[in-house]
Structure 1
Amino acid sequence: MVDNFADRNGRPGVSLPEHLAIIDAVCAHDPEAAEQAARAHLRSVIKTLLTLPAAGDRPASRRPPGRTATG
């Protein structure tokens, strides 16, 4: 699991407008635009997740307390 993902890698500045686009489309009763905005947001999240090191590759100080690289 990625700890504090939403607070890292500039995500707040990326995710907020993506979330607002989803909300705007829902409020406008535009399901196609809502789906398009949601899919764009998920692609953005996945792209960022793929750039992060694997949990076992993180320094111990970045792992959740009590967790090791193998569990």
Structure 2
Amino acid sequence: MFLTTANLAKAKSKAVLVQMMSAAGTGYFFNTKRNRLKDKMVLRKHDPFVNRHVLFFEKRKIKSI
């Protein structure tokens, strides 16, 4: 009996974890997940440092989920 190792391709995940950075320039950020095939996210959420709603832009990808 021969033992062979098969290199099975790993399936790509459907979501990625991304870091969202505040456009107000306060340095406040949060992490969220988005679909891998979508464009970069832009959200309007509350920034506690300026105490108002501001735009949050996707800064970088953290990891695949």
TM-score interval, smaller chain: under 0.3
Q: Which has the higher contact order (CA 8 A, sep 6+)?
A: 2
Structure whose residues are more often strand by fraction: 2
Q: TM-score, normalised by structure 2?
A: 0.23
Question: Which protein is richer in helix relative to its size?
Answer: 1
Could you state the TM-score of these two structures normalised by the residue count of structure 1?
0.21
Larger Rg: 2
